[in-house]
């Protein structure tokens, strides 16, 4: 359908703009946008915009479990230097060296917190339980994920800021190893 005011064409809910040769103020009040077949709606609240269908979520969890079975379990107690990107400032390297003697202890604290939580934990919940700072907790949880100990559950929970966060759980192999 073509807008008689300016010659723009509506395609579904999207407005395909004309050459914008005249007054087009109403474009912006209608939410000017272009169709984008590659756009994926972010996951939203249950039943809300962007909600992931249950079958798709189950498929994601199944793939996550399958991938977790292929990763050899790392030793979570070993103190290692965190990953520092080439574009990070010198202070990031200093911080990675400073925390290195505690990484094994922190990793085990994160792992133990997630193991004890039957419903899994978000990063924020792990931080609240362990007292480990944000950047260190995320780094230790990522190391545990890469090491085959924890995985995304496929669930999301709201954080204190109202954002949805991934709920992390132990992998089956990780749980059996610690049992």
Residue 92 sits in the same domain as residue 173: yes
Backbone φ/ψ region at 131: left (φ over 0), alpha (ψ -120 to 50), beta: left
DSSP sequence for 87-121: TS-HHHHHHHHHHGGGHHHHHHHHHHHHHH-TT-B
Q: Collapsing DSSP states into helix, strand and coil, what is residue 173?
A: helix
Residue 26 sits in the same domain as residue 58: no
Q: Which helix (H) or strand (E) holds 177?
A: helix 172-178
Question: Could you list the pLDDT tens digit for every one of the 179 residues in the chain?
Answer: 455 554 555 544 544 444 444 444 444 434 444 556 665 655 555 555 556 666 676 677 667 666 656 667 888 899 888 778 888 899 988 888 888 899 999 999 999 999 999 999 999 999 999 999 998 999 999 999 999 999 999 999 999 999 999 999 999 999 999 88
**Domain interval for residue 15:** 1-35
Q: Could you tell me where the DSSP H helices lie in 15-156?
A: 25-29, 54-70, 90-99, 103-116, 123-130, 134-146
CATH number of the CATH domain containing 173: 1.10.10.10
Q: Is residue 48 part of a domain?
A: no
């Amino acid at each position: 359908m073509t807008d008689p005011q300016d010659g723009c064409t509506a395609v579904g809910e999207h407005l395909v703009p004309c050459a914008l040769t005249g007054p087009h103020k109403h474009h912006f009040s209608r939410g000017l946008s272009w169709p984008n077949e590659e756009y994926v709606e972010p996951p939203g609240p249950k039943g809300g915009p962007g909600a992931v269908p249950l079958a798709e979520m189950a498929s994601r969890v199944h793939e996550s479990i399958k991938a977790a079975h292929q990763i050899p379990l790392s030793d979570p107690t070993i103190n290692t230097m965190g990953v520092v990107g080439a574009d990070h400032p010198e202070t990031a390297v200093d911080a990675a060296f400073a925390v290195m003697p505690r990484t094994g202890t922190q990793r085990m604290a994160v792992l133990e917190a997630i193991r004890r939580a039957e419903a899994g934990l978000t990063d924020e919940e792990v931080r609240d339980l362990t007292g480990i700072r944000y950047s260190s907790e995320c780094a230790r949880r990522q190391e545990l994920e890469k090491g085959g100990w924890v995985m995304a559950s496929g669930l999301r929970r709201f954080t204190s800021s109202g954002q949805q966060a991934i709920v992390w759980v132990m992998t089956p192999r990780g749980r059996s190893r610690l049992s």
